[in-house]
Structures are given as C-alpha cells and as structure tokens.
Amino acid sequence: MKRSMVIAASLLLGTSVLAEGDGIVRDGEYRYLEAQLGDQWAAQDKDIDAKLAEIRGTNGGKPPNIVYVLIDDVSFGILGNRAMNYVTGINTPNINDFADEGMSLMRMYTEPSCTPTRTAMLTGRHPVRAGQEEVKVALVGEGLAAEEVTIAEILKEVGYNTAHVGKWHQGDIEQSFPHNQGFDWAAFPVHQQVQLSLMTQDAMKANNMIGFDPSGETNPFAIDQRFRPYGLVTGLEAEAGQQAREVHMEAGEVWTQAKYHEMNVRYQAQAIEQINSLAAKDEPFFMQYWPLYPLNFVYDQEQQKSRNGGYMAEKMELLDEWLGEFFTAIDNTDKADNTIVVLMSDNGIFNYYSPNSGMMELIYRGGKTQHLEGGVRTDAFVRWPGVIPAGSAAGDIVHVSDLFTTFARVAGGMDYIPRDRVIDGVDQTALLIEGEGNSRRDYVYVYEGPLLRSIVKQDIKMHMPAPGLPGAAAPVFNLLRDPREMNPIIGIALWAGASFQDMTKRHTNMIAKYPHLPIGKGVPYGGIENLRPESIETREVFDSWH
C-alpha cells in the first residue's frame, strides 16, 4: 500500500509516527475532550485491549471479520423499526430482524451526500480534507487520491482479504478505483444512479428526467452534440494489480432501466459469492456491499407487499429481501460468530423526488445535500455475536468516519493509520464493547461541500452565521425539543455562542496546521482495458478542453 509514502510525508511535515501517545493527529475538539478525559480513556483502553485479546483467543487468535453494508438515501426512522413500517407502508422484516440482533446506533451522523459519506468512511477524514466535496455525475477526471489511505489498505497490512461489491462513486480515474485502493477484487459502477437509472428513456417516460433523451425533447437549433453526457462507462470488474474491464455492455448499446436492474441482481449474487469465497479462506476478511437500490426512478415492478407503492419504496422492499438472503449467507458460513456486520444508510432521502418516490421525511427535517438533521442522520445497526448484546441501543453521537478508526482498532491495524494528516474518525471500540455511554465523541462538524454549515455539540446544534454576521446572530436549536430545527432559541445562543465559536476556532486552527489535501486528478477512464468506442470518443472530447 502507500505506507512508505505516508511515513515520508510525515517526516517532511515534521511529524513523527513515533509521537507521544498513539501519534495520530486528531482534530482540535477531540484534543479538547482528551485533555479532560484522557486518563480515564487510557485506563479504559487497557481493559478494551484485554477484551479484544480475549475475543481473539476464543476465535483461534484471529481478529474479527468485518462486513459493511451501506445503502443509499434512506432517512432516519425508515429502517429496522416495525412501527415505522406501519407509518410508511414500507415493510422491512429482514432489516428489522437484523437490527434486533445487535446494537442500534441511534445518533449516527453521516455527510449530506453519497460521495462524501463514502470518503469519510474509507479514509476516516472529513471528505473536504481529501477534496471529495461533492457528488459528480459525468466525466471529471477526478477522484479519491492515491495518497489517501483507506481502511481496506490498513486491513490488508494486517492480513485481511478484501472485496467490494456495488456502488463506489469515488471518481472516474484509475487511482480512485477500489482495486487500487486496497481491495483484492471489486465489482462496481464508475458513476452512480443518476447515470444508471435517471439518465434513461425510461425515466423520461416516468416524467422524472427532462431534456436528456432526444425522444422526449428535441432542439433543431442545438449546435453542441456533446452537451448531454454520452458514452459513459457503466459497470467494471477488476482485481488488484490488474486493469479493469467493463462488463455486460457492448459497443453502441444503449443503457436502459432493464440493464440497471440486471446490474443490481448481479451485485446481489456477487455479494453472496464473495462472502462464501472469503469465508472459505483461512485469513480474516473485510467486505463491503454497497447496493444501488433503493435509489431508483422508474415504476418497473409490480407492487408487492408494500402499501406505499412508490418506486423507491418498492425497491426498498426488494432490497430488504436481498439483504435477508445476504445475512443468511453470512450466518451459513462457519465465520459468522466472529464477524462484525454494520448496516446503515449514507444520507437522508432524495427530497426532490418525495413523496412520489415513496420515501418521506419522518422525525427530522431535510434530506440529501442538506446539513439539517434529516440530511445527515441515518439508521445504523451493528451486529457482533457474543460481544454486542442483542436488542441493545446507544444514544451516543457517532460519525461515519469513526468506523475507519474502530475497524482499524479491532483488527489490530492502528499502527498503519497515517500520522501526517488529521484523522477525524474516533475509535468507538469502547462503545461497541462496553455499551451505551462510552462514545468518545459528543460533537460533529457538518459540511455542505466545502462549507462548514453547522456544528452539533451534545443536544445543541448551531447553524453557522451568514458571512459578516457575529456568532450571536447564529440560530441555535435544542435537538431534543426541536428535532426539525425550526425554532431557534435565543436563550441557548446567549450562553452557547462563545463555546461554538471556540469549537470553530479549534477546527480551523487544525486546518491551518494541516491543510486539506488536493483531490486526485488524472485521465478519465484510465486503466480500463476494453473501453467502448463511444467511451473513447467522450474522453477525447473531454480532453480537448483540459
């Protein structure tokens, strides 16, 4: 992996991988908490290390396997709750059962959209630090930089086999593809569901896409014949150290909703195949399954058990069936008792298509792309047999970046976390093992793209003031009393304003000391051995102005 580069960069920046403590560079707010609780945490860590050693001892000396399932655009309250099944008309019995088998993380924060959330989990860093600020649809020649160190690369260093199936959405350049970011094998689309389900004639006929398909709208005065994205690469498969290949797409073939569904069916089958293959080996494994459903923009199946009937709600029920099959496949291996499984969503619902999609706001206001709680609060569940009690829950604050550091800790890979950049992910192993009340985070910084839009601290949330306005003018909310963030309370602002300003300073001071790294750049669609002629053409048009 890039371990040698990380050490070299650490030396250039004047930091040391042998610094005091664990040497990991933390954000200012974490250090502020550590100054108050460091001795208590250090004592607890000794107990946690002993318990991790005991867990390994009962499993032949091997660390736990890790499976991470991340689904798209489902707001908090829709998953894993039978009561909400009746409220929404969306039945998710398999996810409900899974939620009952472990711990429900009741305050999981993500980023407001899919690319940033995935970057945060993979790198343990706010995506703005890696230049991964927003969702990209077509060719950009950008992506997750080779210099970023992913959790897959860390786990490879300690002997894990790794695989990725499903959505990736970390860029269209060779260095950003999963098989070049620590995964032994991967099946993934280069882009995402806007290309795969929305930029289709089917979506045009469903009145969800206007102006893209020429059969729905023509312009005899158009000069630029490449204004609309053309020739985009669809699904790739690849092994580490080899070039990728586009699969199930012929030259000149038009992408359709039917092909999108075939892709989802294929990923479901491959996810189960990979679980069985990885479990059959002697080494520990890390697998990601990131389904494309329920994100969908076409009525293309008969209504099944759902009373809802929305085109995304229908796919949510189908996905529930598939996840039931996937979890059963894990349970049928001989590694299930030593496997951590995490299931969560990447951000809130795609509000622009609600309510016709069947997805809706529930407790929290807002959705995808927004810093409101509805955009960045999602359901999350962790199952770890014999370690996490079934039916447990935790109201502690957790951020998706924490999974990076926590997975590294339980796998014995903390030494491979880079020491030359800020790591935002907090080690939440104590929360998983000791239960509710053991988080080491009571704060979250919430970005929209490159902009810090709000700060959460305990039960209080401040929306950042407009440029030029003092902190006292910022709206502040008590999330317990006002979960929809509609009634700012001046009484809170008066006492909390200075503290939030201090939090902002602690955060920006660390940015000044450790500036954001640039996004990776390169030739679009590099490292794909069988590009279709139309994909080569669209890359040439792209290159003509770069």
Domain ranges of the chain: 9-212+227-341+354-439+521-543, 459-513
Res. 16: pLDDT tops 50: no
pLDDT of residue 7: 37
Confidence class for position 438, pLDDT limits 50, 70, 90: very high
Higher pLDDT residue, 213 or 512? 512
Confidence class for position 31, pLDDT limits 50, 70, 90: very high
State what percent of residues in the chain have pLDDT above 70. Answer: 95
User: Three-state SS for 156?
Assistant: helix
Res. 352: pLDDT tops 70: yes
Separation CA 216–CA 207 (nearest Å): 10
398, 342 contact by CB (below 8 A): no
Separation CA 324–CA 182 (nearest Å): 27
pLDDT of residue 218: 80
Nearest-5° Cα angle at 22, 16 to 23: 25
Mean pLDDT, range 328-334, rounded to an integer: 97
Length reported for the chain = 546
pLDDT of residue 13: 41
Mean pLDDT, range 389-396, rounded to an integer: 98
Confidence class for position 4, pLDDT limits 50, 70, 90: very low
Q: Mind listing the pLDDT tens digit for each residue in 253-303? A: 999 999 999 999 999 999 999 999 999 999 999 999 999 999 999 998 766
State what percent of residues in the chain have pLDDT above 90. Answer: 85
Q: Mind listing the pLDDT tens digit for each residue in 490-533? A: 989 889 989 999 999 999 999 999 999 999 999 999 999 999 99
Separation CA 171–CA 136 (nearest Å): 8
Averaged pLDDT of the chain: 93
pLDDT of residue 211: 86
pLDDT of residue 304: 63
**pLDDT-wise least confident of 2-11, 179-188, 393-402, 422-431:** 2-11
pLDDT of residue 137: 84
HSE, side-chain direction, 13 A CA sphere, residue 223: 0
pLDDT of residue 2: 55
pLDDT of residue 108: 98
Res. 11: pLDDT tops 80: no
Cis omega (within 30 of 0) on the bond before 112? no
Q: Mind listing the pLDDT tens digit for each residue in 40-63? A: 999 999 999 999 999 999 999 999
pLDDT of residue 8: 41
Question: Which is nearest to 292 in space by CA: 234, 242, 252, 246?
Answer: 234
**Which segments of 222-310 does DSSP mark as H helices, in order?**
257-279
HSE, side-chain direction, 13 A CA sphere, residue 42: 8
Mean pLDDT, range 2-18, rounded to an integer: 41
Element spanning 532, H or E: none
0.85 exceeded by the pTM? yes
The two structure tokens encoding residue 46: 């000794």
pLDDT of residue 327: 98
Confidence class for position 10, pLDDT limits 50, 70, 90: very low
Q: Mind listing the pLDDT tens digit for each residue in 100-158? A: 999 999 999 999 999 999 999 999 999 999 999 888 888 999 999 999 999 999 999 99
The domain defined by 9-212+227-341+354-439+521-543 folds into Alkaline Phosphatase, subunit A (3.40.720)
Res. 18: pLDDT tops 50: no
The two structure tokens encoding residue 91: 């039945």
Confidence class for position 215, pLDDT limits 50, 70, 90: confident
Strand-by-strand arrangement of the 476-478 sheet:
443-448, 451-457, 460-463, 476-478
